Structure 1
Amino acid sequence: MAKPVKIMETVLRDGHQSLCATRMRIEDMLPQLEALDKIGYQAIEAWGGATFDTCLRFLDEDPWERLDTLKKHLKTPIQMLLRGQNLLGYNHYSNDVVEKFVAKASQHGVGVFRIFDALNDVRNLKVAISAALKAPEHPHVQGCLVYTISPYHTNEKFVELAKELKDMGCHSVCIKDMSGLLKPYVAEDLVKKLKAGLGEDFPVELHTHCTSGFGHATYLKAVEAGVDIIDCALSPFACDTSQPCTETMVAMLEGTERDTKLDRGAMTPIAKHFLAVKKKIINEFGLKGYFDVNPNVLDFQIPGGMLSNLANQLKEAGMEDKYQDLLDEMPRVRKDLGYPPLVTPSSQIVGTMATFNVMSGERYKMVPKEFKDLARGKFGRTPLPIDHDFLTKTLGIPESDIIEDCSVEDAKAETFDQFKKELTDKGFLNPTDEDVLSYALFPQVAEEFFKKHYQQVTAYKR
């Protein structure tokens, strides 16, 4: 007998990250937390991704305190998005920093860890997955298949990756389609193959965006193929570059054998609240607040949140007319780099390199350090090997700097105790573990936050 489809709600994280630059405050969430809790979602995504950085940098909030507040009001599991060895920053961190962060996040209320690596390199997932599995709170641990399209990536390859994640102890897998590239019939085939390869009872979740226009159709075909959970956003923060709409999917499946059994009527007052929140955020921060569907994302593959940033970079440089050139250059740079999926941090690195190429009028004339690090293997193994001459001649990377095992580099990274000493040496005495972790991820941003919130920096107190 077919089971009801479960829904993971993204309005408190990816919904506003995709449409409103992650600018929703905890005060905007509080009035509806109890109502959201009663809906019956599988989980509510409310932490991780860009929320941590944005809390500190733009919203004057402590992300750890936000998580505590969410936990007080939600019995539904709180889900976070974690970038494996990257955590929530843009570098790889030492194993002890990763382990400490995961343990603290679990203690503060994360009930579902969705863990991914931008290159689908499982070596970058092992430490975070292991730490989450060891947490005394017994959170659900989900591994990701970062979905992309290339000559290398096939549904069969994604099934192989899913089997590795299951063998590593993951309780479920998620197809993470961050750019809305997954076509409906390809989704149907992938879900069927995952179910055949992992076992019918092993949970498979699907995450997509509506950037290409496929979203709701892709979910429908995946549901027909047996997917267990779909990620949706309530209507004010749905569609365009965000997830398919929660209310739409609930209505679409009503009366079928996969009926979600959720009360769509109960969602209406919650959606009305968040529509007002969306309008407020757009006005306060001067955001566009909506994005056009663009089927050409199938070619340039840039996640929705990046498109506006790249356009702004060109505008500031007085080169708005080069926007299409930039979209054309992205696939070429990605090919040179061995076809990495474009998701944080690889999307930013490839996007910046393509922007430099277009703005300078000469390819690889200016090459950022992060691009060289990704090319030489510091972030892990690219899907296809990078041409040796491209590495050594075009990018000028010495043979001795090419890395075969990224985990060896991670072992050289700054440790938790080193970050703690840095913080205390700057006058922030007796920092909590949470403050040290905030500093480890975003040193300059966290330092400014601490200066603002502690009157006497040398007599650092809560």
Structure 2
Amino acid sequence: MDTTMRDAHQSLLATRVRTRDLKKSAPFVAKNFSQFFSLENWGGATFDVALRFLHECPWDRLSELREIIPNIPFQMLLRGANAVGYSNYPDNVIDGFCQMAVDHGMDIFRIFDSLNYLPNMKVGINAVGKANGVISAAVCYTGDVADKSRTKYNLDYYTKIVDELVKMGIHILSIKDMAGLLKPQATKILIDAIRQKHPDLPIHLHTHDTAGTGVANYLAAFEAGADIVDVAVDSVSGMTSQPTMGGVVAALQNTKYSTGIDLEKVNEYSAFWEQTRLLYAPFECTTTMKSGNADVYKNEIPGGQYTNLQFQAFSLGLGSQFENVKKSYIEANQVLGDIIKVTPSSKVVGDLAQFMVQNNLTAKEVRERGDELSFPSSVVEFMQGQLGQPHGGFPEPLRTQILKGKKRIDGRPGADTEQLDFDKIEAELRKKFGDDIIRKCDVMSYVMFPKVLEEYIDFKKQYGPVELYPTRVFFVGPDLNEMLDIEIERGKVLHIVVLAISDLMLATGEREVFFQVNGQLRSMKVKDKAAIKDHKVQPKADKNNKNQIGKLKFDYDSTCFD
């Protein structure tokens, strides 16, 4: 499977790759890589980021890619009972989401739970089954099954989970090695054990190449009986991304596992992304991360979290202490009971690690002072049971100390949540934004991310379809006197030239931008966000917010006061 369109850029480029650039590579992929098992191009963080930062509709991304690539199955990442969000949703939301995804072109759903909590996974498995999607159930891997001294997540633990998933009627078993912790010997042991018990079950291995052992693991996996592995095209592979596509294809040539994929076409595909990656320089993981690192076997930080955690450390003023953050990550994990770490449970560990570094706390001090410390909200929610039940239970007495009497959830979170009324939500959104704007898919996006969807609609109403701008212009803006050719529909092109920018208007924090559209002079006022940081600007009241007070203007006939 090719992860270039999802996990690769989520791991290396902060998930910022735009639909525009994905569509540019899509015809080449459709023409040359029909042998791919699937393309992973949706789910995970892409849904949230598309709306929040790229001002794009993720549903449009899916349907547009399906139109260009009709001949390769699409695959997405589904967080069990959380879908693509970070909350617990009623079952009818997960059912509706999966059906809508299938209707927009999705085929295979990789369903996982951050704690391998089977009741959460069952919600997603049932929903995908109802939607007639392909059920790929993922077992999240941590620990080291080759190390007999590590008994919590041993071989027996994993094979029992697989047995239960098979009983649920899954189509594919996926091993999700989200931190790249597998080593060749452990890979052989794990996959061979599953293959011996389930000879006809398709086995799909996913890993990250943080330590640089990814290709070696895949060779071991094929020898042990794996059927499918995840790769990213060379120029967006390696480090916290997936192992290199070209490397795996070349390593399997002239063996019984030969892929039949043309290595020259892989090189062409890689060349496109090598150039495209330059457009995303502001989000490059290589700004702070220069190479892979085998210390992942100690800290167990997932590939998708590593660079984000590093960025957060810099933003909190802890950049020079990132090594301490990684060490605290190890301690935080043990404090929490040695849990499986992948979104959203990995955030719990990361938040606690940064909390410990910021407050100069050791693991011993956290345990001793649990009743007096004010823990991050994610830690409190985890201890309540809002993510589900971890293998081995919660650590006591720390859990009791952290909760301080707060409600505990002992079963599946969301099991007793009332079903959502989609028609009611749609009516409310149409009333607020207009019938011509709200679609069924917008309602589902609102259910996942209410505030983000509203901000997306407001932005689009104000600025229009910014997804039409070239990527460099979208992120950093146009140069003065640069001609932009924006095709708003087939055969209809706007020629835009920015001519001049005024001095800062101190009262409003704005600058006036003068530009031409198809030769006609226009101007508009734009907030200078950089300048606003240095100048106090009084914002206008939001007329839709009843809690804000603005200056009232009255039109009256003075005779009424006589």
TM-score over 0.5 (shorter chain): yes
Structure 1 residue 217, shift from structure 2 partner:
0.8
Higher relative contact order (CA 8 A, sep 6+): 1
Show the 5 A alignment for 1:117-156. 117-135=113-131, 138-149=132-143, 151-156=151-156
Q: 1:388 to 1:90 in 2, by over 3 A?
A: same
Distance of aligned partners of 1:413 and 1:392 in 2 relative to their CA distance in 1, 3 Å threshold: farther
Where does residue 446 of structure 1 map in the other structure?
Answer: 453
Change (3 A) 1:107 1:206: same
Paired letter, 2:190? L
Q: Which residue of 1 aligns with 2:408?
A: 402
Gaps (5+ residues) in structure 2?
Answer: 144-149, 465-562
Q: Does 1:51 align with 2:59?
A: no
The reply on whether 1:160 has 2:153 as its aligned counterpart is no
Secondary structure in 1 aligned to 2:220? helix
1:18 is matched with which residue: 8, 11, 28?
11
1:208–1:243 CA contact under 8 A, matched in 2:
yes
CA displacement 1:360-387 (0-9 Å, x = unmatched): 2243522122211211212111011123
Residue 266 of structure 2 corresponds to: 267
Shift of the 327–129 alpha-carbon distance from structure 1 to 2, 3 Å rule, reads same
- Give the counterpart letter for 1:446 in structure 2: L
- The C-alpha deviation readout for 1:251-293, integer Å capped at 9, x for no partner, is 10111111112211222211111111111112x5465366421
Match of 2:323 in 1: 324
**Distance (Å, rounded) in 1 between the aligned partners of 2:68 and 2:349:** 40
Q: Secondary structure of the equivalent of 2:312?
A: helix
Q: How does 1:368-407 map to 2 (within 5 A)?
A: 368-393=376-401, 395-398=402-405, 401-407=407-413
Residue 456 (structure 1) shift: 12
CA distance in 2, matches of 1:332, 1:285: 29
Q: Judging changes above 3 Å, is the alpha-carbon distance between structure 1 residues 413 and 219 closer, same or farther for their aligned structure 2 residues?
A: same
2:94 corresponds in structure 1 to 98
| Cα offset, 1:397, TM superposition | 3.5
Which residue is 1:302 aligned to? 301
Contact 2:206 2:229 in 1 (8 A): yes
**One-letter code of the match for 2:459?**
K
| Helix, strand or coil at the partner of 1:79 | strand
1:185 corresponds to: 185
Distance 1:410 1:178, change over 3 A: farther
Cα shift at 1:176: 0.3
- Show structure 1 runs of 5+ residues with no match: 1-7, 458-462
Q: 1:133-178 CA deviation, whole Å, 9 max, x = no partner?
A: 122xx32110001011164111221111112111111101110001
User: Does the 8 Å CA contact 1:336/1:386 hold for their aligned counterparts?
Assistant: no
Deviations along 1:405-455, one digit per CA (max 9) or x if unpaired, are 124555258664565465356445573221111112122211111112246
SS at match of 2:356: helix
Task: Give the drift of 1:35.
Answer: 2.1
For residues 164 and 428 of structure 1, do their structure 2 counterparts lie closer, same or farther at Cα, with a shift above 3 Å needed?
farther
Change (3 A) 1:407 1:323: closer
Secondary structure of the corresponding residue to residue 411 of structure 1: coil
Q: 2:378 is matched by which residue type in structure 1?
A: E
1:125 is paired with a residue whose SS is helix
Tell me how far apart the structure 2 counterparts of residues 286 and 252 of structure 1 sit (CA, whole Å).
28
Q: Report the Cα distance in structure 2 between the residues aligned to 1:389 and 1:418, rounded to whole angstroms.
A: 44
SS in 2 for 1:13: helix
Task: From the superposition, tell whether residues 69 and 154 of structure 1 become closer, same or farther in structure 2 (CA, over 3 Å).
Answer: same
- After TM superposition, the structure 1 stretch with the greater mean CA deviation from structure 2, 325-334 or 203-212, is 325-334
Is the contact between residue 102 and residue 133 of structure 2 (CA under 8 Å) also seen in structure 1? yes
Is the counterpart of residue 69 in structure 1 residue 64 in structure 2? Answer: yes
Give the Cα separation in 2 of the matches to 1:24 and 1:42.
Answer: 22
- Counterpart among 435, 453, 462 of residue 442 in structure 2: 435
Which region of structure 1 is more displaced relative to structure 2, 357-366 or 112-121?
A: 357-366
Considering only aligned residues, what root-mean-square deviation do their CA atoms show, in Å?
2.2
Cα separation, partners in 2 of 1:408 and 1:247, compared to 1, 3 Å: closer
Change (3 A) 1:133 1:388: same
Which has the larger displacement, 204-213 or 145-154? 145-154
AA partner of residue 405 (structure 1): G
Percent identity over the alignment? 34
Contact 2:178 2:206 in 1 (8 A): yes
Distance 1:424 1:366, change over 3 A: farther
User: What SS does the corresponding residue of 1:89 show, helix, strand or coil?
Assistant: coil
The alignment's TM-score, normalised by the length of structure 1, stands at: 0.91
What amino acid sits opposite 1:147 in the alignment?
Answer: Y
- Residues 279-329 of structure 1: CA deviation (Å, up to 9, x unaligned): 1112x5465366421111111111133233333333333333432222122
Q: Which moved more, 1:442-451 or 1:415-424?
A: 415-424
Greater percentage in helix: 1
The residue identity in structure 1 corresponding to 2:135 is V
**Aligned mates of 1:454, 1:223 — CA distance in 2:** 51
> Kindly tell me: are residues 231 and 456 of structure 1, through their superposed partners in 2, closer, same or farther at Cα, counting changes over 3 Å?
closer
User: Could you report, residue by residue, the CA deviation over 1:337-361 in whole angstroms, capped at 9, with x for unpaired residues?
Assistant: 2322111001112101211121022
Cα shift at 1:330: 1.5
Matched, 1:366 2:374: yes
Partner amino acid for 1:340? I
Work out which of the residue numbers 17, 22, 30 in structure 1 matches 2:23. 30
Contact 1:94–1:415 under 8 Å retained in 2:
no
**C-alpha distance in 1 between matches for 2:50 and 2:308:** 19
**Runs of 4+ deviating beyond 6 Å:** none
Are 2:210 and 2:294, in contact at CA under 8 Å, matched by a contact in 1? yes
The answer on whether the counterparts of 2:345 and 2:387 sit within 8 Å (CA) in structure 1 is no
Secondary structure of the residue aligned to 1:288 is: helix
- Return the alpha-carbon distance in structure 1 between the equivalents of residues 380 and 420 of structure 2: 20
